[in-house]
Structure 1
């Protein structure tokens, strides 16, 4: 089991998506980034890629892949137990290979997410309450 949180993602195009997202400390980034499947990008009005999108090559466990990176494309909120944390402005990386939304290390930190146990226990950095992981949500 892993740590997943419930997100509300709001694009600059005025569209929103609610989904669970995997907190992935192995998704290292220089800026707050959210990796989204192409279907989520479409729902947010970010597919086809806007003119500001840049094609980048990133390393993955399966080898290098090319994704579109859209700078400062969304505001991200974590919603948990009646509490909302955010917004945090984030870049969006659009994936043709991933079916789950992934939160980068920097974005997770800026949202105040602290992993307590890799079997699904987490909390916000400013609280003592232990929270349980969300169910995965796949975007095929």
Structure 2
């Protein structure tokens, strides 16, 4: 069975201090200049980031379905990766709030900050940068919002 790499995250809003745990897709094609996590509007509502704070900005991003407008909230979230044997984080991340995306997505820079190494993307195998070379971790199930 084919699956991408997804990891379990704890996401804490720096605005409201609310916390949510989610399965997130590690998307190496999500290129960003800073650590970013894209969250669907329903996730943003659960941690009181929607409606977005007045400090947010609107930006247009390219997607597989064409251009899309999103809200960018800089330095909005603390993010941890959770596994059965360890917790990595918190790492500071921008929030990108999408009105159309149904999955939480991790940018290339946030994945690197969290120490994620993709081993076999098609079969969902990964490890942390500092795991032993023979340690293989497996993808979480997708979570759609």
TM-score (norm 1): 0.98
Match of 1:23 among 22, 26, 37: 26
The answer as to 2:11 corresponding to 1:9 is yes
Residue 98 of structure 2: aligned partner? 95
Cα RMSD over matched residues? 0.6
Residue 81 of structure 2 is aligned to residue 78 of structure 1: yes
In structure 2, the residue matched to 1:121 is 125
Q: Following the alignment from structure 2 to structure 1, what is the Cα–Cα distance between the partners of residues 44 and 83? A: 23
Unaligned ranges ≥5, structure 1:
none
**Following TM superposition, where does structure 1 have runs of at least 4 consecutive aligned residues deviating by more than 3 angstroms?**
none
* Cα offset, 1:121, TM superposition: 0.2
Specify the alignment match of 2:41 in structure 1.
38
- 2: distance between equivalents of 1:44 and 1:82? 26
Give the whole-Å Cα distance in 1 for the aligned partners of 2:82 and 2:48. 22
How far off is 1:82 after superposition? 2.5
In the alignment, what sits opposite 2:68?
A: 65
User: Counterparts of 1:38 and 1:16 in 2: how far apart (Å)?
Assistant: 15
2:49 alignment partner, SS class = coil
Find the counterpart in structure 2 of residue 132 from structure 1. Answer: 138
Normalising by the residue count of structure 2, what TM-score does the alignment of the two structures yield? 0.94
Structure 2 counterpart of 1:110, from 109, 113, 116: 113
- Measure, in 1, the Cα distance between the counterparts of 2:6 and 2:114: 13
Does the residue aligned with 1:64 lie in a helix, a strand or coil? strand
